Amino acid sequence: MKILLAVDGSAYSKKMLAYLSTHEALLSPAHEYTVFTAQPDLPPRAKAAVGKEVVKSYQSEEAEKVLGPVAKFLLRHGINAKTEWKVGPAGTSIAKVAESGKFDLVVLGSHGHGALGNLVMGSVATQVLANCKVPALLVR
């Protein structure tokens, strides 16, 4: 099975990894894993002020801060995962990567704000479910 692990470095991503580690069917060297994170785009004025290379370097460093610990966690469980990151809104970026990469499952942690919280703040999980045809496992 080809599994996309969507992470953001939050406590919810850590909960998702803890959940996976207790379910051998989901965390197994028999599967192929890609760990993915999305970096927010900076405002155009900020990008113009510091330059393209500085922005790209910053986003790469921030992505590595999120992806590195997850990759190490998976290595401790005998899994050598690929890592990937993109710039853009998290929900739609996760959905696009899941479909273009032909993944069998997307796994992500959910904050669990509820209906009112989603209405006010939006939800990455809701965006993934709305924009993705790949089955998703939300860990709360």
Mean pLDDT, rounded, of the chain: 91
Q: Write the pLDDT tens digit of every residue in 68-88.
A: 999 999 999 999 999 999 999
Nearest-5° Cα angle at 91, 15 to 79: 45
Report whether 97 contacts 5 (CB < 8 A): no
Q: What is the mean pLDDT of residues 17-41?
A: 95
Note the pLDDT of residue 26: 93
pLDDT at 92 > cutoff 60: yes
The pTM of the full predicted model, rounded to 2 decimals, is 0.91
The residue ranking higher by pLDDT, 117 or 18, is: 18
Question: Measured between alpha carbons, how far is 92 from 54 in angstroms, rounded to an integer?
Answer: 25
Backbone φ, ψ for residue 42 (5° rounding): -85, 155
Q: What is the mean pLDDT of residues 29-44?
A: 95
pLDDT band at 140 (very low <50, low <70, confident <90, very high): confident
Tokens of 34: 């890609």
Note the pLDDT of residue 126: 87
Q: Write the pLDDT tens digit of every residue in 124-137.
A: 888 998 899 999 99
Note the pLDDT of residue 122: 52
